[in-house]
Amino acid sequence: MDTKTMSSSPSPASASPPRLMPGRASADLKEAIVTTLRYAVGKNPEFARLHDWYAATAITLRDRLVDRWFASTDHTYRQRRKRVYYLSLEFLIGRLLTDNASNLGLLDEVKAALTAHGIDFEAVKALEPDAALGNGGLGRLAACFMESMATVGVPAYGYGIRYDFGLFRQVIRDGWQVELPEDWLAFGNPWEFERPEVAYEIGFGGHVDAEDNPDGTVSYVWQPSERVLAQAYDTPVVGWEGKTVNTLRLWAARPITPIRLDAFNRGQHVDAFAEQVRASSISRVLYPDDSTAEGQELRLRQEFFFTSASLQDLIRRHLTQYDDLTSLPEAANIQLNDTHPALSVLELTRILVDLNGFALDEAFEITKATLCYTNHTLLPEALETWSVPLFERLLPRHMQLVFEINAMHLAAVRKRPDVTLDLVRSVSLIDETHGRRVRMGNLAFIGSHKVNGVSELHGELMRETVFKDLNTLFPDRITHVTNGITMRRWLVECNPDLAHLITDAIGPQWIKDAERLKELERFATDQAFLERFARVKQGAKQRLAVFVAQRTGIRLDPEAMFDIQIKRIHEYKRQLLNILETVHLYEAMRAEPERDWTPRVKIFAGKAAASYHRAKLIIKLINDVARVVNRDPTVRDKLRVVFLPNYNVSLAEMLVPAADLSEQISTAGMEASGTGNMKFQANGAITIGTMDGANVEISRHVGLDNILIFGLTADAVRERWTNGHNPRAVIEGDGNLRQVLDAVGGGVFSPDEPGRYGPIVHDLYESDYFMVAADFADYSATQRKAASMFRRPAQWRHMSLHNTANAGWFSSDRSIREYADNIWHAPMDPG
């Protein structure tokens, strides 16, 4: 909801409709769905297809949100409450039908209403596409945070891009990842409201005019050579019990002139739409391949497009309530989710200076007091940088501001008694070492009043590594807020059997206050409860086995250990370590077929960036190993390997409840936090992982007896990087690893191309940057320990319950309360 409501609007206390008795509610919904089907979808119920029923149900639920949405907005305006603006290039929201129905307390009523019409709710639910607005943890975190902000009552807007095709739809052909368009909007999006009246011009290129003022100062006027429109689409985001509804506003790129009619009339029918094609390309695809100059330019255009539109929008909203922009920091807090929206530092400063007459130093102070930055990576190469020539050509005024802000910044640095040339070079906004590049991480840091990591370890490592010198200059700026997950999505909705068991045991209050899950610990010796707990897990595994058989034709034994690694494919996440250890297990099983092995199902899922060729080669290796293993009669009842394509939120909701073992095996010091670890933990999986990211805090909460930790620590990894690591000696000293690499490198799994995996093996011998060889032996031993423990069901169930009971602290509600209290200083009103 955007427009300020009139004074006659209902007050928050009276806006929510009264709760109906279940029978009455389902009867009302039954009638409302048919009405919507007729008058909004335009279908006669007698001839409506299943997708028509989905659209009608979604719109009916959306209508139930609108009054609460208006009331939440009106309450924020009336109380002049501080708003949080969450800027993120990704929002991986997944399907919303169950989410919204559950948060409104209408899920059972919706199911009953559809059943009364002879329609199966699960079939309707399956038709909803996953909104293709994100790639992995970054986008899913943003979605969890939006839901939690509504649940705890923080007034908030999420800002992002309405991608037509999102990331991509992953298919596997002959074991290779192939990227296809993810056309999630093919049937429209019933949850959103199009806002053609909310559109802002976004400029690119051109030049900057300098104009002399009577007082001797100089004003700068940017004259863009190209302009596009950013048009808003709003999706209501409802919190638990529907008391607060916030807004996710996504921008779609549109041309200012949709067609050059003169060209069209001259027969230039394609050229006439060139402006439309160029403009709309900005919001076509998430993360276009940036291995080309054209891809890099499009990525920068995307980031500026949504940043500028969002800032123009929130400033317009601010000025409807306040006289000027000096009060912006008291009324708004803008959270930058990674460096993608870091251009906010420059664009907000430009708006204040060029359009509102502020002096640069005052404008920058207002900007800094309004912005906060969440860092998500410790990899220096993952902190965005842009070449100065590209930046200057596309955003000439902003390039001027980079130089001006950098001059102010470095002038202050040079006044320090401990200043050195190396310090100045390190903290500069311009990297001069490999061609001049704008450092977006440094820009976000100096342009924000708080910079947070996303786990305790991450916050510490930020101070010691990527922002060490900036931390020296601004020692109070870095903090941390450990990530979290919404238990509504990742327990109540994706694992209703477990949620019902928990509610039967301790009551429903845990859904809103997740730390009450701790009360489950009193059932740790209750054998009847533990049996029920185990049956819930077994039911989830049986459902997943059916799903995998339908999707891949591979039959799984639900009695086997389900060992699952699902996340973006990246070398630091070490899917390679997992599959190499799987090869070792396979060879051991073949060598001793008579041994009483613990049956194991290895499941992988995740997408590799389109231009990340090594990650795509790892996917191919996983599929090649799966092909060999799954066809070998020697291990048929003992080992299965599965790669499930097109990983998304809905697939995760199927996999997470079924996991026995959760693979969180990143190179220590490289994973900022992780949230998959939290989802698996809440659903009773045992974590096998390194002391990295939030694994550190999970181990503290569950105790080292209830988690399987292995491998080098972050300090040990850095010591090897600094003082030298000899992977060849490690491999030659480990007969198991050497045998695995001989098989992989020798073509055992790629007889059609024996040298296919030679580059992987070569890099492990010569570099092993991600410490795969270094951690292999300990990982393998820990896997054997996990297999042994799994064969003792009583112990495994106790560990599993202990993990679920201690998952409550990892709720995103807790994360948002920490942000609100310690960073945003924003109000909370959970109702």
Split at pLDDT 50, 70, 90, the class of 496 is very high
DSSP codes, 48-101: --HHHHHHHHHHHHHHHHHHHHHHHHHHHHHHTPPEEEEE-S----B--HHHHH
User: What is the separation, in whole angstroms, between the first and last Cα of the chain?
Assistant: 19
pLDDT at 8: 32
Burial (CB count within 10 angstroms: exposed 0-12, middle 13-18, buried 19+), residue 105: middle
**Per-residue pLDDT tens for 733-766?**
999 999 999 999 999 999 999 999 999 999 999 9
Would you state the structure tokens that stand for residue 445, as one six-digit string?
């840091």
**Predicted confidence (pLDDT) at residue 608 exceeds the cutoff of 90:** yes
Task: Write out pLDDT tens, residues 88-147.
Answer: 999 999 999 999 999 999 999 999 999 999 999 999 999 999 997 988 889 999 999 999
Q: Of 679, 701, 725, 797, which is the active-site residue?
A: 679
Of 111, 458, 567, 602, the catalytic one is 567
| Contact by Cβ (8 Å): 221, 25 | no
Question: What is the average pLDDT across 256-269?
Answer: 90
Q: State the pLDDT at residue 217.
A: 87
Neighbours of 371 (CB within 10 A): 26
| Bridge pairing between strands 661-664 and 686-689 | parallel
Per-residue pLDDT at 7 exceeds 70: no
Is 679 marked active-site? yes
Concerning whether 567 is annotated as a catalytic residue, the answer is: yes
Q: Which of 75, 573, 574, 638 is catalytic?
A: 573
Q: Which of 43, 568, 574, 802 is catalytic?
A: 568
420 is catalytic: no
Cβ-proximal residues to 279 (8 Å cutoff; 6+ apart), any chain: 228, 229, 253, 254, 255, 256
Whether the per-residue pLDDT at 15 is higher than 50: the answer is no
Out of 60, 667, 675, 690, pick the active-site residue.
675
Distance CA 661, CA 790 (A): 9
The active-site residue, picked from 140, 317, 340, 376, is 376
Residue 16, pLDDT above cutoff 70: no
> Residue 761 belongs to what H/E stretch?
helix 758-766
Helix/strand/coil (H/E/C) assignment for every residue in 588-622? HHHHCCCCCCCCEEEEEECCCCCCCHHHHHHHHHH
Query: H/E element holding 783?
Result: helix 772-790
The pLDDT value recorded for residue 22 is 44
Helix, strand, or coil here: 560? coil
The overall average pLDDT reported for the chain is 94
- Residue 19: is its pLDDT beyond 80? no
573 included as an active-site residue: yes
> If pLDDT is split at 50, 70 and 90, which confidence band does 517 have?
very high
**Around Cβ 562, how many Cβ atoms within 10 Å?**
26
Between CA 78 and CA 82, with CA 79 as vertex, the angle to 5 degrees is 120
- pLDDT in the model for residue 831: 60
| pLDDT beyond 50 at 768 | yes
Radius of gyration of the chain (CA): 27
